[in-house]
């Protein structure tokens, strides 16, 4: 290992290192990196639930998450649901669905999903 590599590694912010490690873990066969998602494509993506939001009870049921794979974030929305067992911040999933743009953000509505064993 060169001195330059050691110094570069020391200068790398821990969050950048964690994102790079997650990107390597999420690079599963048949999956697309979130950074490479294009509108109208049907894709499978793997990542961790970065955040979760549930609308107030007086609004129509809708579960929203942000999925992060180390390369980017995609918004995911399940209409007609307020919760899905096992989907919580930090959960590791593979989702399959069509990418759309909503307010300029990549979004997947009502994807199929597979819960994966914890990463790392």
18-39 pLDDT, tens digit per residue, is 667 766 776 667 889 999 999 9
What integer pLDDT is reported at residue 9 of this predicted model?
Answer: 58
Question: Is 101 among the domain residues?
Answer: yes
Distances in Å between the Cα of 111 and the Cα atoms of 1, 54, 100 are: 43, 17, 12
63-94 pLDDT, tens digit per residue, is 999 999 989 999 999 999 999 999 999 999 99
Question: Is 120 among the domain residues?
Answer: no
Q: What are phi and psi of 77, to 5 degrees?
A: -130, 125
Q: In terms of residue numbers, what domain contains 95?
A: 3-115
The pTM of this model reads 0.79
* More reliable by pLDDT, 69 or 13: 69
CATH number at residue 21: 2.40.50.140
């Amino acid at each position: 290992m060169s001195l330059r590599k050691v110094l570069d590694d020391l200068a790398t912010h821990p969050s950048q290192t964690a994102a790079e490690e997650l990107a390597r873990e999420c690079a599963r066969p048949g999956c697309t990196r979130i950074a490479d998602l294009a509108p109208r494509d049907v894709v499978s993506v793997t990542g961790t639930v970065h955040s979760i939001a549930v609308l107030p009870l007086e609004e129509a049921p809708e579960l929203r998450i942000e999925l992060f794979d180390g390369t980017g974030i995609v918004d995911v929305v399940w209409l007609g649901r307020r919760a899905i067992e096992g989907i919580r911040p930090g959960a590791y999933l593979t989702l399959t669905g069509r990418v759309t743009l909503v307010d300029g953000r990549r979004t997947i509505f009502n994807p199929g999903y597979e819960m994966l064993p914890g990463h790392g």
